[in-house]
């Protein structure tokens, strides 16, 4: 009887790494330091695992995943929500670092998530700039909201911080544009994307940094990946309302803002939006449909390297 495949799960905390090997019963914990990161790599390599599974932890996983990939190990970073749903489905309610590592190993053995190539240094740097821009926008929005309800004694402080954030946002936009222009490939893709009315530098940079699958998937797959594909909610004779759900929220948020502009300045999306609202669709439903149409157009443009043509096939 063949031995079961070796799948390793690693739970990543700020101070330590918990490692578990599925079907072997082995488990250990090491500090989350430069020296500690080398320990899982050296101990896991002799096991020849088919998968090494980690959760996305907002950046804490970057160093470890890079070290595992550099060692030639098949590492995959999974969505924490999927792992939590898997835990509930299997009846595991308790949660500790050691249990989470074992759960990740079990999840990898059962679900077998696909191993995707990791981005190199340049895409990681672009992604970091895009993420930082999103953080600055969130902080700027929060400070502006506070200014409306704060007592007068705080207005000077809040206005000073708002001014500083606006300047940093302007500087970061310049850095983003410089990063895109520094790469011939990105420069070509950026020009291609921004040829579409309604697509600006923020959406183009977000798609290049956080949606590398653009142009490689079908229109149905790319819509589901971003989270603009309607999900059915039917059971028996009941027919529920289709809703969009899941996907990459950061990409979807920027796409939503770009679509608001596109339905005004893009002739194809403007006609599509008016046709849907004229047929009785709610404005939010029509806007979501326009988001999906815009994403589909961009996906096809990148796939075929075809620039926008107002009277072309997009119409």
Out of 111, 129, 155, pick the residue that ends a domain: 111
Whole-number Å distance between alpha carbons of 3 and 23: 9
Do 201 and 283 fall into the same domain? Answer: yes
Number of domains in the chain: 3
Asked if the model's pLDDT at residue 297 lies above 90, the reply is: yes
Asked if the model's pLDDT at residue 22 lies above 60, the reply is: yes
Do 176 and 213 fall into the same domain? Answer: no
Residue 187 resides in a domain: no
Q: Which of 79-83, 140-144, 217-221, 311-315 has the lowest mean pLDDT?
A: 311-315
* Domain encompassing residue 300: 196-234+242-307
Beta strands in the chain (DSSP E): 7-12, 16-21, 27-31, 51-55, 75-78, 234-235, 238-239
Cβ atoms of 224 and 297 within 8 Å: the answer is no
Residue 314 resides in a domain: no
Instruction: Count Cβ atoms within 10 A of the Cβ of residue 269 and give its class: 0-12 exposed, 13-18 middle, 19 or more buried.
Output: buried
Do 146 and 249 fall into the same domain? Answer: no
The CATH number of whichever domain residue 70 belongs to comes to: 3.30.420.40
* Cβ neighbour number for residue 32 with a 10 Å cutoff: 17
Do 300 and 221 fall into the same domain? Answer: yes
Residue 145 resides in a domain: yes
Mean pLDDT of the region 30-52: 85
Residue 23 resides in a domain: yes
Out of 142, 159, 182, pick the residue that ends a domain: 182
Cβ atoms of 226 and 207 within 8 Å: the answer is no
Residue 206 resides in a domain: yes
Helices within 150-200 (DSSP H only): 155-182, 184-194
Do 171 and 211 fall into the same domain? Answer: no
Q: What is the pLDDT of residue 312?
A: 53
Residue 155: CB partners within 8 Å, gap ≥ 6?
147
Whole-number Å distance between alpha carbons of 48 and 223: 36
Residue 190 resides in a domain: no
Q: What is the pLDDT of residue 268?
A: 92
pLDDT in tens, 210-265: 898 899 889 999 999 999 988 766 667 767 677 777 788 889 999 999 999 999 99
Mean pLDDT of the region 292-297: 95
Residue 227 resides in a domain: yes
Whole-number Å distance between alpha carbons of 53 and 79: 10
Out of 111, 134, 153, pick the residue that ends a domain: 111
Whole-number Å distance between alpha carbons of 116 and 131: 21
Model confidence at 1, pLDDT cuts 50, 70, 90, reads very low
pLDDT in tens, 61-89: 888 888 888 888 888 888 888 899 999 99
pLDDT in tens, 49-64: 889 999 988 778 888 8
- Identify the residue with better confidence: 124 or 274: 274
Do 105 and 138 fall into the same domain? Answer: no
Percent of the chain whose pLDDT exceeds 90: 44
| Beta partners for residue 78, in sequence order | 55
Do 172 and 257 fall into the same domain? Answer: no
């Amino acid at each position: 009887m063949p031995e079961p495949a070796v799948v390793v799960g690693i739970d990543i905390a700020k101070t330590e790494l918990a490692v578990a090997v599925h079907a072997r019963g082995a488990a250990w914990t090491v500090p989350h330091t430069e020296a500690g990161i080398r320990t899982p790599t050296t101990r896991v390599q002799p096991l020849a695992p088919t998968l090494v599974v980690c959760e996305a932890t907002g950046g804490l996983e970057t160093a470890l995943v890079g070290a595992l990939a550099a060692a030639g190990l098949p590492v995959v970073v999974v969505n924490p929500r999927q792992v939590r749903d898997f835990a509930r489905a299997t009846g595991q309610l308790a949660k500790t670092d050691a249990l989470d590592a074992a759960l990740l190993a079990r999840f990898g053995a059962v679900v077998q998530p696909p191993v995707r190539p990791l981005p190199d240094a340049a895409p990681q740097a672009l992604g970091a700039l895009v993420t930082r821009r999103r953080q600055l926008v969130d902080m700027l929005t929060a400070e502006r909201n506070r200014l409306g309800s704060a007592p007068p004694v705080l207005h000077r402080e809040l206005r000073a911080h708002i001014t500083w954030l606006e300047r940093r946002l302007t500087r970061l936009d310049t850095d983003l544009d410089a990063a895109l222009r520094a790469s011939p490939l990105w420069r070509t893709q950026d020009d291609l994307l921004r040829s579409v009315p309604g697509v600006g530098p923020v959406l183009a940079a977000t798609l290049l940094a956080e949606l590398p699958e653009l142009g490689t998937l079908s229109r149905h797959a790319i819509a589901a990946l971003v989270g603009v594909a309607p999900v059915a909610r039917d059971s028996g004779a009941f027919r529920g309302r289709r809703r969009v759900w899941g996907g990459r929220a950061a990409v979807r948020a920027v796409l939503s803002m770009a679509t608001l502009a596109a339905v005004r300045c893009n002739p194809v999306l403007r006609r599509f939006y008016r046709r849907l609202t004229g047929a009785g669709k709610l404005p939010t439903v029509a806007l979501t449909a326009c988001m999906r149409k815009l994403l589909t157009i961009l996906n096809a443009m990148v796939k075929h390297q075809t620039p926008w043509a107002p009277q072309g096939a997009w119409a």
